[in-house]
Amino acid sequence: MSIFKIGLTRDFLNSDGKLVYNDIGLDILDNEPNIEYEFLKENYSPITPDMIDGYNAIISLAPSYNAKSFEGIKNLYGICRFGVGYDMVDLEACNKANILLTITKGAVDHSVAEATITWMLSLSHRVFEKDKLVRNGKWLDRSDYIVSAP
C-alpha cells in the first residue's frame, strides 16, 4: 500500500517551530502507518503550486488558495480547512482541479460566541471611549460615560 502524504500549512507553527495550538489531533496521524505528514516549508498566502506539490492532502489554517495555486498539481485530493468558511479558497478553481474542500464543523463556535459577547459588553459599557479617556489623561470625565439602567 502506498503512503498518503499530508502537508500542514506552516502557520500552525510559531516562530520557534512549536505548535500554535496545543492539540490539533496529530496523534491520529501518528498512529496511522500509511500516512506521513509534515509542515510546509514556507508560510505564504496565497499558496503556490511548489508549496503543495507532492502532497495528497493539505490541512490548512489561514492561507488562501486561488486558481494559480493548483496549476500543475496532479495528486492533491483535498484541502481540509482547520476552521470554517470557504472565503480563503477559490471554490471554482478547486472544482476545476477536482480537489475536495472541507471545513472543520464547530472549530470556532466557542471563540465566535465569546467574541460576540465581549463586543456586546464592550460597546454597551462604552469601554473603548473610557479607554481613550484613560490614555488621554481625562479619567475624571468618566461620569459623562456612565451607562444607566433603563
What's the CATH number for 4-102?
3.40.50.720
Query: Which residues partner with 90 through β-bridges?
Result: none
Cell, residue 56: 495528497
Say if pTM beats, i.e. exceeds, 0.75: no
Preceding amide of 150 cis, omega within 30 = no
pLDDT digits over 76-92, tens only?
Answer: 999 999 877 788 999 99
List helix spans (H) across the chain: 26-30, 49-52, 91-96, 109-124, 127-135
Q: What is the pLDDT of residues 115-133, one digit of tens each?
A: 888 889 888 888 888 889 8
Rg over CA atoms, the chain? 22
In whole angstroms, give the CA distance from residue 63 to residue 123.
31
Which cell goes with 26? Answer: 496529530
| Residue spans per domain, the chain | 4-102, 109-145
